[in-house]
């Protein structure tokens, strides 16, 4: 008899009326058997429900005994901080884009070495980082993994404020011991915060310990420095300069010109511009044009697991999978101002588009 099933139904989160203290219940059924989890806030309950829904959409099997999909089951059964971090990565990996995977492994390669019982025989920082990010692992790196497994703190140790302070301090350092940039620290801290939130969802921790810490807020620049942005004259010169890349017959420069023109004039992201098809653009002979960026490759180059990232597609950032954006693009009849519409039309005439 199999111990897994795909017969799963996930229900809406409901308020727990039987308790005096506010709590929320996330119910679901596995092979007809009712399951439930109770949380102190509606946000935690909604996130837990979202993970169950995502697992059903990804076609993951649910365990009949625990009622959880396999990645969540591994995290539920984890006893050490290292095994829990690896289980968290297994859960997030299938739905993460290539760059998100890179950010996640970068942060989780920094945190586990700070979650150890003692530092006796500790390998150097570079070896520990390779141990958590490199496959296959050579001999010295495999020994570093064994050292981490033996000395990793129990998962309950993540509730200790001093331990979490140490993790956050480690996130703010480079391998050479110097301070990392504010944006790097913010990105890594976000991954660790979500990791600890996941521990709360699976009832390893009562609350996220980071919420209780008092630390100086790291300020990340949010404004754009106008001195570092190309003005219209500089942009036209840059677009002319890239046409000289590669030989004339290969037309590499002309393709780059159309690519960078879409970035500058339409304000698209690079992944959107790469996948912008002729059918996604309205290119009139007069007036403004319109671009409709839609789904795009999940990342460029190869993924961390060796898969060609372009083989997978993802929705636009922070939008549903089939949502699109409508971006007006300027047209200029002036020869000295080759605006986006003219460049897109010329590019389409000189280089036929690929089949849809």
Q: What's this model's pTM, rounded to 2 decimal places?
A: 0.72
Q: At what angle do helices 252-261 and 232-241 cross, to 10 degrees?
A: 160
Tell me: pLDDT of 299 over 50.
Answer: no
Contact status, residue 300 vs residue 310, Cβ threshold 8 Å: yes
Q: Predicted confidence band at 316 (pLDDT cuts at 50, 70, 90)?
A: low
Alpha-helix runs per DSSP H in 175-251:
182-201, 232-241
Tell me: pLDDT of 22 over 50.
Answer: yes
Tell me: pLDDT of 224 over 50.
Answer: yes
pLDDT at 346: 53
Nearest C-alpha neighbor of 325 from the set 266, 254, 284, 274: 266
Q: Predicted confidence band at 314 (pLDDT cuts at 50, 70, 90)?
A: low
State how far the Cα of 149 lies from the Cα of 128, in Å rounded to an integer: 12
pLDDT at 321: 65
The least confident of 53-62, 181-190, 235-244, 285-294 is 285-294
Average pLDDT of 129-148? 83
For 96, list phi and psi in degrees, rounded to 5: -95, 140
Question: Taking the mean position of all CA atoms in its chain, how far away is CA 22?
Answer: 32
State how far the Cα of 33 lies from the Cα of 14, in Å rounded to an integer: 18
State how far the Cα of 244 lies from the Cα of 254, in Å rounded to an integer: 8
Average pLDDT of 208-236? 84
* Max mean pLDDT range (137-151, 219-233, 320-334): 137-151
pLDDT at 303: 47
pLDDT at 85: 93
More confident call, 193 vs 315: 193
Q: What average pLDDT is seen over the chain?
A: 81
Place of tokens 């390893």: 204
Tell me: pLDDT of 123 over 80.
Answer: yes
Q: Is 184 left (phi over 0), alpha (psi -120 to 50) or beta?
A: alpha
13 CB contacts (<8 Å, ≥6 apart)?
Answer: 24, 25, 26, 42, 45, 46, 49
The least confident of 75-79, 89-93, 345-349 is 345-349
pLDDT at 301: 46
Taking only the tens place, the pLDDT of each residue in 172-218 is 998 888 999 888 999 999 999 999 999 999 989 999 999 999 888 77
Look at strands 14-15 and 327-329 and give their pairing: unpaired
pLDDT at 286: 75
Q: Predicted confidence band at 159 (pLDDT cuts at 50, 70, 90)?
A: very high
Average pLDDT of 290-318? 54
Question: Taking the mean position of all CA atoms in its chain, how far away is CA 125?
Answer: 24
pLDDT at 2: 72
Q: Which two tokens mark 307? A: 């898969």
For 184, list phi and psi in degrees, rounded to 5: -60, -45
pLDDT at 250: 62
Taking only the tens place, the pLDDT of each residue in 277-296 is 777 778 777 777 777 776 55
Nearest C-alpha neighbor of 5 from the set 47, 41, 59, 86: 59
Taking only the tens place, the pLDDT of each residue in 147-156 is 999 999 999 9
344 CB contacts (<8 Å, ≥6 apart)?
Answer: 258, 261, 262, 281, 283, 289, 329
Q: What is the dihedral of CA 181, 184, 217, 132, to 10 degrees?
A: -120
């Amino acid at each position: 008899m199999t111990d897994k099933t795909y017969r799963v139904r996930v229900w809406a989160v409901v308020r727990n009326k039987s308790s005096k203290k506010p709590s929320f219940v996330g119910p679901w059924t596995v092979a007809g058997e009712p399951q439930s989890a109770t949380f102190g806030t509606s946000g935690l309950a909604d996130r837990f429900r979202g993970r169950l829904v995502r697992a059903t959409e990804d076609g993951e099997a649910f365990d009949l005994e625990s009622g959880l999909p396999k990645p969540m089951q591994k995290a539920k059964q984890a006893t050490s901080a290292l095994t829990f971090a690896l289980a968290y990565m297994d859960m997030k990996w299938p739905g993460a884009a290539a760059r998100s995977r890179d950010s996640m492994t970068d942060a989780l390669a920094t945190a586990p070495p700070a979650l150890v019982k003692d530092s006796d025989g500790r390998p150097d920082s570079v070896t520990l980082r390779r141990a958590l990010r490199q496959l296959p692992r050579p001999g010295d790196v495999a020994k570093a993994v064994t050292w981490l497994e033996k000395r990793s703190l129990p998962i309950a140790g993540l509730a200790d404020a001093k331990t979490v302070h140490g993790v956050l301090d480690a996130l703010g350092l480079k391998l050479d011991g110097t301070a990392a940039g504010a944006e790097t620290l913010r990105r890594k801290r976000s991954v660790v915060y979500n990791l600890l939130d996941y521990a709360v969802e699976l009832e390893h921790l009562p609350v996220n310990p980071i919420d209780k810490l008092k630390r100086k807020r790291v300020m990340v620049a949010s404004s754009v420095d106008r001195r570092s942005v190309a003005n219209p004259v500089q942009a036209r010169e840059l677009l002319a300069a890239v046409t000289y890349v590669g030989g004339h017959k290969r037309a590499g420069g002309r393709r780059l010109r159309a690519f960078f023109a879409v970035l500058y004039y339409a304000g698209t992201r690079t992944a959107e511009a790469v996948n912008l098809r002729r059918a996604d653009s309205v290119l009139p002979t007069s007036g403004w044009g319109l671009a409709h960026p839609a789904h795009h490759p999940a990342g460029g180059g190869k993924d961390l697991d060796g898969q060609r990232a372009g083989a997978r597609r993802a929705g636009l950032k922070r939008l549903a999978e089939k949502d699109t954006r409508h971006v007006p693009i300027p047209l200029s009849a002036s020869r000295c101002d080759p605006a986006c519409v003219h460049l897109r039309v010329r590019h389409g005439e000189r280089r036929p588009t690929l089949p849809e």
